[in-house]
């Protein structure tokens, strides 16, 4: 696996990140750093979401999911959020 040299945020990701408090941004940034260091860390999805990986992490005692895709040396961040309706919203966004 090649090293990640470029990170691209989807418009949905950046819009959601702007709404976060400072104490919620740090765990998100830490999760993105972990993904950059080890891109295979997330669980690979199948079916309609094939090719997309989801990494789970804790943010303020809440389980948060982060959807991303690796294409060559580029990391594309789709979205993040709690499990409730996460996959339904991700499926809508990807299609």
Model confidence over 52-95: pLDDT tens digits? 999 999 988 999 999 999 999 999 999 999 999 999 999 999 88
Q: Do residues 54 and 66 make contact, with C-beta atoms less than 8 angstroms apart?
A: yes
pTM: 0.92
Torsion of CA 14, 19, 24, 30, to 10 degrees: 10
User: Is the confidence at residue 1, as pLDDT, over 80?
Assistant: no
Burial class (CB in 10 A: 0-12, 13-18, 19+), 32: buried
**Cα radius of gyration (the chain):** 13
Helix or strand holding residue 66 (H, E): strand 62-71
CATH topology of domain 6-94: YaeB-like fold (3.30.2310)
Could you give the count of Cα atoms lying within 13 Å of 62 in the half-sphere of its Cβ?
14
User: Is the confidence at residue 2, as pLDDT, over 80?
Assistant: no
DSSP annotation of 57: E
Q: What is the pLDDT of residues 9-59, one digit of tens each?
A: 999 999 999 999 999 999 999 999 999 999 999 999 999 999 999 999 998
């Amino acid at each position: 696996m090649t090293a990640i040299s470029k990170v691209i945020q989807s418009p949905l990701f950046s819009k959601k990140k702007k709404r976060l408090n400072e104490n919620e941004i740090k765990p998100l940034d830490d999760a993105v750093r972990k993904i950059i260091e080890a891109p295979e860390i997330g669980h690979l999805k199948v079916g309609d979401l094939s090719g997309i990986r989801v990494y789970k992490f804790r943010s303020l005692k809440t389980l948060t999911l982060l959807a991303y895709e690796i294409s060559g040396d580029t990391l594309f961040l789709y979205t993040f959020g709690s499990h409730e309706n996460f996959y339904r919203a991700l499926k809508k966004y990807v299609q």
